[in-house]
Chain A
């Protein structure tokens, strides 16, 4: 049965992606300036009490949170991008293009430059909280405008782009008014960094994925049908407007929280889904896990590459994801001329 064969092949591809991810994580945890050997790494992970304190700190407090963060953030951003592209029927949709990342940057800049906290909480989390609130405001704005009747998918996308420009302009204004130190801090934030990773943050993003993925899973068939066009999807009995709204809201959460924690990491939300699509097609039962795995793999590999390119220093991860993702993306596009879109 041809279809069973196709299904089996897809499961292999998923397994392959998962394996590659595990390998990348292992690499991420083993590579670093501390010069630990593989047996030392393994021992520090499995029996932390048996290794010197410093080694345990390097593994558990520095390397592993970063490796784990790369995986969960990469997965979250990629899934967000995948569903955005699905419900907006637009190959360029991503957390970037709807203005969510730009809004988050603006929120962070407000704190870094002026100490303006939207919610006056004197926590360690003031910057991420601000970033998150602005990101959610942006998405609620899109949400609200989308609810008006007669708003087409193209309008939503254009709205998102308008928000990107608006928030970028506001960000530029903040940068202009900021002091030299604040400016440097803002710029570093907008370049993204996994260095801010910590176990609580990893847990939060993980919890987010665990909560949201099953919701998407239950709507797998409906979401796939969205790719056939509004008419066709509606003809299947799908409440297209409602599905679009719900998905937008969930996707905003999925994008806003990681961005709030690690800054703007571009490209993963755009390229991850495309890689998944090229490998495995758009049946959401495969596309969803493949997007998550591709995004996680992309970010994890970037983390490793960043450490190897400039050992000792920290290269802003956004730069690395572009360097890693773009050539790969180009080669995929050019090798498959008859691809959809």
Chain B
């Protein structure tokens, strides 16, 4: 049974406590959780700590295979998109064999993200947004149970970012994944995510259902903006930012 729980997570980098006393969850299957907060709050650090890339105090109790997608950086290598995704899938294996199951997983990841046309393109020739999609495909191809995504839509245009988030939510529901995504667009959070973890200055400020967590009060305190939460004609809550405080 897939689950993820964080108990008193802390990370020290040098002298500073980048994260401390962070407890959250337990999260269950088919839950999409947003990790939000201002710049340098510790969102990336948290995701890396959960993924096991950083050492620190506290416990990460996870049931299920994790896949982590870091923030984008430019890459130049003589690999095609297909190979890059295949590569992600084969990590941790020693055998050179690529069987039908592997190719199927890669194909479905590429198809889901509408990348099939780019399959033979060299990754050095991709735009930032395309590369980000490939990063996502890499995470998906591993057929994980827990997806940790660091700003998966930052380089994507409106169309793509909504497409991706919709896809993630669909996979989350259909395959019973836990998705933990650091997102900066709060309206996307409202529309697609179930829960939210609000991080500011290294500690957890709030957690819970999105609609309950994202209040004007919180926004004023954490983001230092004047905001209103109002339902649109469809009944979905939207944040209207009036200005910085």
Contact = CB atoms under 8 A, between A and B. Distances in A.
Asked whether any CB of A lies within 8 Å of a CB of B in the complex, the reply is yes
B76 A341 contact: yes
Given A235-B70, A340-B122, A224 B79 contact: yes
A332 to B, nearest CB: 12
Interface in B47-102: 51-53, 68-71, 73, 75-80, 82-84, 86-88, 90-94, 96, 98
Nearest to B69: A235
B97 to A, nearest CB: 10
Contact of A232 (B75, B76, B94, B103): B75
A229 B96 contact: no
A221 B70 contact: no
B241 interface: no
Contacts of B118: none
A237 B71 CA distance: 16
Interface stretch (A172-180, A188-196, A200-208, A279-287): A279-287
A339 interface: yes
B91 A340 contact: no
A238 interface: yes
Interface in B94-128: 94, 96, 98, 103, 119-120, 122-125
Contacts of A283: 79, 83, 87
A222 B91 CA distance: 6
A234 B52 CA distance: 9
A221 B77 contact: no
Q: Which of A218, A231, A282, A339 has the most CB of B within 10 A?
A: A231
Contacts of A278: 78
A3 B70 CA distance: 26
A236 B80 contact: no
Interface residues of B, number: 36
A338 B122 CA distance: 9
Given A2-B120, A235-B70, A221 B91 contact: yes
B96 A1 contact: no
B152 interface: no
A217 interface: yes
A3 B92 CA distance: 21
B37 interface: no
A338 B80 CA distance: 13
Given A1-B103, A2-B119, A340-B122, A229 B75 contact: yes
Given A220-B96, A224-B87, A285-B96, A3 B82 contact: yes
Contacts of A277: 78
Interface of chain A: mostly helix, strand, loop or mixed: helix
B42 interface: no
A187 interface: no
Contacts of B73: 229, 231-232
B135 interface: yes
Contacts, number: 88
A318 B170 CA distance: 60
A238 B90 CA distance: 12
Contacts of A282: 77-79
Nearest to A338: B125
A182 interface: no
Contact of A228 (B80, B84, B122): B84
A235 B51 contact: yes
Contacts of A285: 96
B110 to A, nearest CB: 11
A94 B14 CA distance: 34
A225 B93 CA distance: 12
A231 B77 contact: no
B76 A340 contact: yes
A232 B96 contact: no
Contacts of B91: 221-222, 225, 236-238
A281 B90 CA distance: 17
A237 B52 contact: yes
A235 B87 contact: no
A340 B78 contact: yes
Q: Which of A2, A218, A237, A339 has the most CB of B within 10 A?
A: A237
A234 B79 contact: no
Contacts of A3: 82, 86, 98, 103, 119
Contacts of A221: 87, 90-94
Interface in A1-51: 1-3, 6-7
A227 interface: yes
Contacts of A234: 53, 70
Contacts of B88: 225, 236
Q: Which of A6, A224, A235 has the most CB of B within 10 A?
A: A235
Which are the 9 A-B pairs with shortest beta-carbon distances? A340-B124, A236-B91, A227-B77, A340-B76, A282-B78, A231-B70, A235-B68, A281-B78, A221-B90
11 contacts: A2-B82, A3-B86, A220-B94, A221-B91, A227-B77, A228-B75, A229-B75, A232-B135, A282-B79, A283-B83, A340-B122
Interface of B: 51-53, 68-71, 73, 75-80, 82-84, 86-88, 90-94, 96, 98, 103, 119-120, 122-125, 135, 138
